[in-house]
Amino acid sequence: MSDFTLGDLAALPVPEIIETLSHEAILAARKQKFLDLCIARGIDYATLDLESDPGAILLEESSYEEIVLRARGNDIAREAYLYFASGDALEHLAAFYDVERLAGEKDDRLKVRTILAIQGRSTGGTRARYKGIAMAASLRVADVEVYTVGIDPTIRFAVFAADNNGVADASLLQIVRDAVSADDARMVNDTIVVTSAVVQVVDVVADVWLLPGVSETILSTVAADLPGQWIADGGLGRDLADAWLVSRIMVAGVQRAVITAPVPDIVVAPYTAVRIGAVTLNLRGRDF
């Protein structure tokens, strides 16, 4: 359970209480009920499919109102689940686990810290508890890996910064060090070492074939976008796979892409993060 993440929550089925709404289905059901009632009373109502029919107009309006009410019911139901909650409702859920939103903190980060707070509720100084404390120390902490090396009991914190291309500077490291070393945070026997996560910069080179008629300027656009896309997806311990690179290079107009560097995939330790450096896309031709 200690490795349960926000992604695991996303993979869970949507709770049954949250309905899939369809105005068309509700309207059709209401029309059928209306016609059934008419038949039961011996009324021949043959103009319900006309948009100008008063009955059709009333059913349209009442169906819309039902959609609004059911949608509000969905909103209320979502607020009870950590993954779906947002804004003030999320803050109330987090507060139950003694987690408060940091100034400027976005919902997803608050959810991650809430998960860590739930996982870390132990008297044994769990990894999740330490990670949650470190992330609560500053919004500049994008992620942190808590680990030991071999049989050495030293608790090590690898801090991955939200800025400075991922490198945690001295001031941020001190903020985290103070937080995890506080009397109400550090276990009595724990020796703590806080360092910046290792940031490995990797250049990318790929051979690219375009579809006929597509401007070559598309290559510069893709190359410029690639590092930022990896920042959004990559993080501590995330391997940089050729498959990910190809999937981002294969935008509309690109017929084929072959990664020539890095080869093979970049596999990193949990305390290491990859950042994409220079991106070179070589046009090798055009094809269908």
pLDDT at 79 over 80: yes
- Within 13 Å, how many C-alpha atoms sit on residue 111's CB side? 20
Q: Determine the residue type at 159.
A: V
How confident is the model over 106-136, as pLDDT tens digits?
999 999 999 999 998 866 668 999 999 999 9
The DSSP secondary-structure symbol of 7 reads H
> In sequence order, which residues have a C-beta less than 8 Å from that of residue 42 and are 6 or more positions away?
none
Which tokens belong to 69?
């009410």
Rounded (5°) CA angle 194-97-196: 15
Residue 6's pLDDT is 85
Q: For 225-273, what is each residue's pLDDT tens digit? A: 999 999 988 889 999 999 999 999 999 999 999 999 999 999 999 999 9
pLDDT tens digits, one per residue of 6-19: 888 989 999 999 99
2/221 Cα distance (integer angstroms):
40
Which is it for strands 141-149 and 192-196: parallel, antiparallel or unpaired?
unpaired
pLDDT at 193: 97
Residue 1 scores a pLDDT above 50: no
Structural domain spans, the chain: 6-78, 94-196, 199-281
CB distance 198 to 273 below 8 Å: yes
pLDDT band at 287 (very low <50, low <70, confident <90, very high): confident
The pLDDT of residue 144: 96
Burial of 281 by CB count in 10 Å (0-12 exposed, 13-18 middle, 19+ buried)? buried
Instruction: Please write the tens of the pLDDT for every residue from 175-207.
Output: 999 999 999 899 888 999 999 999 999 999 999
SS3 255: strand
Per-residue pLDDT at 161: 95
Q: What is the DSSP string of 83-119?
A: TT--HHHHHHHHHTTT--PPTT--HHHHHHHHHHHHH
